[in-house]
Structure 1
Amino acid sequence: MKEQRRIIQVQERVPLAQGIPLSIQHTFAMFSASVLVPWLFGINASIVLLMNGIGTLIFIFMTKGKAPAYLGSSFAFLSPTFLLLANPELGYQYALGGFVVTGLIFCAVALIIKVVGTAWIDVLLPPAAMGPIVALIGLELAGTAANNAGLLTNETYTSINPKFVIVFAITILFAIFGQVLFKGFLAAIAILISIIAGYVASLALGLVDFSPVAEASIFALPNFMFPIFDLPSILIIVPASLVVISEHIGHQVVTSEIVGRDLIKDPGLHRSLLGDGISTTLSGLCGAVPTTTYGENIGVMAVTRVYSVWVIGGAAVFSIVLAFIGKASGLINTIPGPVMGGISFLLYGMIAASGLRLLVDKKVDYSRSRNLALSAVVFVTGLSGAFIQIGEVQLKGMCLATIVGMALSLVFYMIDKANLAND
């Protein structure tokens, strides 16, 4: 019988010679998305890289080194922040005040969960709902991966560039077949190898723009900025908290499935959410952006079977170093979209597959009408594009599907308690 590739478990240390490339692999996975958020807000990315790294280390400490996760820039706050920035009388500092309050809300919810426990998750999010919700984390990002790869026509790309297709294909093929054909440590860094292969192909096809390196300074000092607390601005920002809390629960569930441990119970959802809350609060106080656990890095763990928090911590240290070395950040920014798009195809797909795996592992019985209806409604809600508007925040995709799934699950629970089910 063929021996399976060794799994590096959550609290297992790896030799430095292996840990460095494994950590760099995680850094590449999160970099493009994490620096995109500050770029859209018009602030320096160095402060965000710094706070992402510090926030990740705080998260690891708060979860006692038992929950592997990288905290990157959250996209949930784009719409409300843009609304504030559109007002000439307001500035980014007003959004920072809302970010600080958001982080404190996370901390408050974590304390409530500490008191009431997590039994409610089994009631509100049974496997028939949680499986599709986890799958939606990857599925709703599929279009983003294709767009980054230049495989969709839009305002930027009016036609598909054949060079993009070639680079995309080389990258994703290296990533896929690296998992199948590479042996030993090479299999663990297949993502990093595929990025290098795609980058070399991009160089050969003339797709690499080195201007970010030329324009970057050798050393960069993060630009700290202090928040302004304004109640109307805070009220615009905080509804996005619901999106991130829903995302956080989903990420902890999918990570639990990947590493084979129930992270909701140990170290506990209250600890992971508290770590995210402290990170977001600190980021707001220093001038960065809210943080969230990153699906890209969850995907890396799923592909490589390397779950070590020491590797994640190494990626956090690299992020902190990058915050002060402008040329290094500039070099990573030269990686073309088709390369990261090719990687994202596999990583996001792995997350979606983890949701399906949850359904299989929990042996969800689809001969029961309630399970079939619950999964169906969650999937369609998340993929249909339907949304609910709360102020300037849209609840859609996985977040809206989570709310609908919880509401429907609660109704089924009450039907059971009233002995009205026709089972």
Structure 2
Amino acid sequence: MEARKIIQVEEKVPIKMLIPLSIQHMFAMFGASVLVPFLFGISPAIVLFMNGVGTLIFIAVTKGKAPAYLGSSFAFLAPAGIVISKMGYEYALGGFVVVGFLGCVLALIIYKFGSDWIDIVLPPAAMGPVVALIGLELSGTAASNAGLLDEVVDPKNVIVFLVTLGVAVFGNILFRGFLSVIPILIAVVAGYVAALCCGIIDFAAVAEAPILAMPNFQTPKFNLEAILIIMPVILVIASEHIGHQVVTSKIIGRDLLKDPGLHRSLFGDNFSTMLSGLIGSVPTTTYGENIGVMAVTKVYSVRVIAGAAVLSIICSFVGKLSMLIQTIPGPVIGGISFLLYGMIGASGLRILVDSKVDYGRSRNLTLTSVIFVTGLSGISLKLGNVELSGMVLACVVGMILSLMFHILDRLKLTNDQEE
């Protein structure tokens, strides 16, 4: 195997490579994905189960052409938290089901009318910074997970963080052969060993956990008020999904919005969210961490993603294994995230370079400038109980500006139209 050989989407991977590559993907999503059920006050086992099932559904719906891992969505945290505090988790589940259903309806509308409108409302000068913001706005989360933003920074956390990040960074450029495609997994193992040496891992919960355990399935309850509180999240997850598909397209060198099509990927994503609500899990979304893994390793095979999904399902039924994975400390997750989130940000800049965006044109300079400032300034817009901020708000602003520029072009009022 060549040092930096690309493993494409449809390629088969030998079993001796498939297992470690799949474990690498599962570790990449694990920290962020299980955080959501902890915040909602439910067991992460059901989430591991649905993440795996949802990913397999997504792969099937997209005909195995869109490599993506579905993890827990953070977009629902604020409105779902309100519903849970007022009515209980079952009513939040009802809201998840409705939002997932509406997302499926949106996918059918896109199937009917096409996705060419994306080129108008999100040209490269807008899409580049929007995609970059997906990674950049998460940079603080990576630092927080590592414990680097605490009032008093623990030197042990710093050591574990530096070991993890160092192995990931230098392994990415020094490892050869098969090791060159699993630098993230090796970094996780190295960081975990460092954490053991520093004495910051507690195995008490692992000892108490049962060997086998059934995930805690629940059924939803529906209430109009709860649904109306959660429903506006559809704006957030649609924008997030488009951004993820665009950045994945750039990484693997294929236009996923055309083949398998935005309608298929959006349907698979939202059908998984709807099913999650029906069985008691949290909403799912394509995961930036796993996009980052693909960017680092150049392994795009959906078989590897499917393998990670199967491992996630197995972990949901093995109590001790699930709990053991949960002992991975924050500094390890933070160290990995430092690199992965940065890769996503760099992919946004790559869109600008590959598209040869001409910043001599006023509109391109204006779009990129306004989007970056909107996304990084910390401003927010509240629509009821849903707050638009960061990448999502920047995406909405970019779409509105681009549409207005298009209308002004049609009226022949702009001064920088291309000949």
State TM-score, norm by structure 1.
0.97
Q: Which residue of 2 aligns with 1:76?
A: 75
CA distance in structure 2 between the aligned counterparts of 1:209 and 1:341, rounded to whole angstroms:
18
Conserved 8 A contact 1:110-1:273: yes
Q: Report 1:213-292 matches (<5 A).
A: 213-292=206-285
Deviations for 1:233-260, whole angstroms, at most 9, x for unmatched residues?
Answer: 1001111111111000000000000000
- Pairing 1:349–2:333 present: no
Which AA in structure 2 matches 1:62? V
CA distance in structure 1 between the aligned counterparts of 2:191 and 2:49, rounded to whole angstroms:
27
CA distance in structure 1 between the aligned counterparts of 2:112 and 2:371, rounded to whole angstroms:
29
CA distance in structure 2 between the aligned counterparts of 1:42 and 1:217, rounded to whole angstroms:
20
CA distance in structure 1 between the aligned counterparts of 2:3 and 2:210, rounded to whole angstroms:
46
Q: Which residue of 1 aligns with 2:106?
A: 109
CA distance in structure 2 between the aligned counterparts of 1:333 and 1:282, rounded to whole angstroms:
24
Q: Which residue of 2 aligns with 1:132?
A: 129
Deviations for 1:60-116, whole angstroms, at most 9, x for unmatched residues?
Answer: 0000000000001101111111111222xx111101111000110110000000011
Give the Å deviation of 1:215. Answer: 3.0
Deviations for 1:251-303, whole angstroms, at most 9, x for unmatched residues?
Answer: 00000000000000000000000001111111110010110000000000000
The DSSP-based 3-state class of the residue aligned with 1:105 is helix
Which AA in structure 1 matches 2:260? P
List structure 1 segments (4+ residues) > 4 angstroms apart after TM superposition. Answer: none
Gapped runs of 5+ residues in structure 2? Answer: none
Gapped runs of 5+ residues in structure 1? Answer: none
CA distance in structure 1 between the aligned counterparts of 2:383 and 2:92, rounded to whole angstroms:
17
1:92 aligned to which of 83, 89, 92: 89
Q: Which residue of 1 aligns with 2:53?
A: 54
Q: Which residue of 1 aligns with 2:373?
A: 380
The DSSP-based 3-state class of the residue aligned with 2:232 is helix
Conserved 8 A contact 1:60-1:67: yes
CA distance in structure 2 between the aligned counterparts of 1:44 and 1:237, rounded to whole angstroms:
21
CA distance in structure 2 between the aligned counterparts of 1:68 and 1:365, rounded to whole angstroms:
31
CA distance in structure 2 between the aligned counterparts of 1:215 and 1:151, rounded to whole angstroms:
31
- Pairing 1:165–2:162 present: no
Deviations for 1:324-350, whole angstroms, at most 9, x for unmatched residues?
Answer: 011111111111111110000000000
The DSSP-based 3-state class of the residue aligned with 1:385 is coil
Conserved 8 A contact 2:3-2:176: no
Conserved 8 A contact 2:46-2:215: yes
The DSSP-based 3-state class of the residue aligned with 2:388 is strand
Give the Å deviation of 1:214. Answer: 2.0
- Pairing 1:363–2:345 present: no
- Pairing 1:145–2:142 present: yes
State TM-score, norm by structure 2.
0.98
RMSD: 0.9
Give the Å deviation of 1:49. Answer: 0.9
Give the Å deviation of 1:212. Answer: 2.7
Deviations for 1:160-215, whole angstroms, at most 9, x for unmatched residues?
Answer: 11111111111111001111110011010010001111111111111112123123
The DSSP-based 3-state class of the residue aligned with 2:71 is strand
Which AA in structure 2 matches 1:182? F
- What number of residue pairs does the alignment pair up? 415
Give the Å deviation of 1:4. Answer: 6.3
